[in-house]
Amino acid sequence: MEKEIWKPGNLLYPLPAVLVTVADREGRTNIITVAWTGTVCTNPPMTYISVRPERYSYHMLRETGEFVLNLTTEALAYATDFCGVRSGKDCDKFKELGLSRDISEQVSVPGIKESPVSIECRVREVKELGSHHMFLADVLAVRVDKSYMDREGRFDLAKAKPLVYSHGGYYGQGKLLGTFGFSVRRKKEGQRRRRPGGKGPRKQGQGKR
Ligand SMILES: Cc1cc2nc3c(=O)[nH]c(=O)nc-3n(C[C@H](O)[C@H](O)[C@H](O)COP(=O)(O)O)c2cc1C
């Protein structure tokens, strides 16, 4: 496989594109689509969003120091794009899209009812990196839609059909290829283990942890 060398840039895809809800001191709310986001620490639970200072949402983030990350779904694909190309300076995105505000547990900023998961965050530090300022935040609460719980009380995110953003395109998440640790998990008696590349079963004893 021959590769071309490109100038430094970001080509880390796929990513989640999330709907971030923000509010100002007077309680005016807005939604901004953000793809520069991720988990940075499990314990304490921490996340970040990177936002350009010229975004209308930026001053709201600075004012309250709070935001909610609302996960997106295939059903929210239109809203995700809309909130990423229209400014709250010119329109009320909640109203335009028929989305409903959901009262949050720990922060003053509302979440989005139509999102399956709303992650309530408080900014700990702002890193002025360059084009984007990174809002490093603590996760204070996570609200999940009960309709995606299975009978055993497990949350089934796949059922919500999460949205994936990759190199300018929106996609569904695709088919399940395995679950965490499947590469080393012992198979039940009689089932044959396949090696990467589909080269057939391993010899006995190979692949033990
Ligand atoms: C898929 C997608 C991802 C985006 N990710 C970011 C991002 O990570 N940071 C950012 O500052 N803007 C990002 N944007 C652009 C903003 O969402 C866009 O400028 C938006 O209109 C700003 O809204 P506001 O003016 O109401 O704050 C993204 C847009 C799209 C469509």
Which residue reads 């990467």 in tokens? Answer: 196
Give the amino acid at 127.
Answer: K
Do 117 and 111 meet the contact criterion of CB atoms below 8 Å apart? no
CB within 8 Å of 77: residues ≥ 6 apart: 163, 170
Please give the distance, rounded to the nearest whole angstrom, from the Cα atom of residue 92 to the centre of ligand 1: 15
Q: Whose CA is nearest to atom 9 of ligand 1?
A: 51
**Selected residue with higher pLDDT from 13 and 191:** 13
Q: Is the pLDDT of residue 182 over 50?
A: yes
Average pLDDT, the chain: 92
Residue 66 placed within a domain: yes
Residues 41-100: pLDDT tens digits? Answer: 999 999 999 999 999 999 999 999 999 999 999 999 999 999 999 999 999 999 999 999
Q: What is the CATH number of the domain that holds 60?
A: 2.30.110.10
Residue 146 placed within a domain: yes
Do 37 and 16 meet the contact criterion of CB atoms below 8 Å apart? yes
Cβ < 6 A, ligand 1 pocket:
17, 30, 32-36, 50-52, 55-57, 81, 84-89, 132, 165
Residues 116-170: pLDDT tens digits? Answer: 999 999 999 999 999 999 999 999 999 999 999 988 999 999 999 999 999 999 9
How many domains are contained in the chain?
A: 1
Residue 150 placed within a domain: yes
138 is in which domain, residue-wise?
18-171
Q: Whose CA is nearest to atom 20 of ligand 1?
A: 84
SS3 per-residue string spanning 17-58:
CEEEEEECCCCCEEEEEECCEEEEECCCCEEEEEECCCCHHH
Residue 3 placed within a domain: no
Q: How far apart are CA 62 and CA 74, in angstroms?
A: 30
Residue 27 placed within a domain: yes
Residue 154 placed within a domain: yes
Residue 208 confidence class, pLDDT cut points 50, 70, 90: very low
Residue 207 in tokens: 């692949």
pLDDT of residue 194: 58
Q: Whose CA is nearest to atom 18 of ligand 1?
A: 84
Residue 1 in tokens: 């496989």
Ligand 1: atom nearest CA of 57 is 27
Residue 191 confidence class, pLDDT cut points 50, 70, 90: low
Residue 4 placed within a domain: no
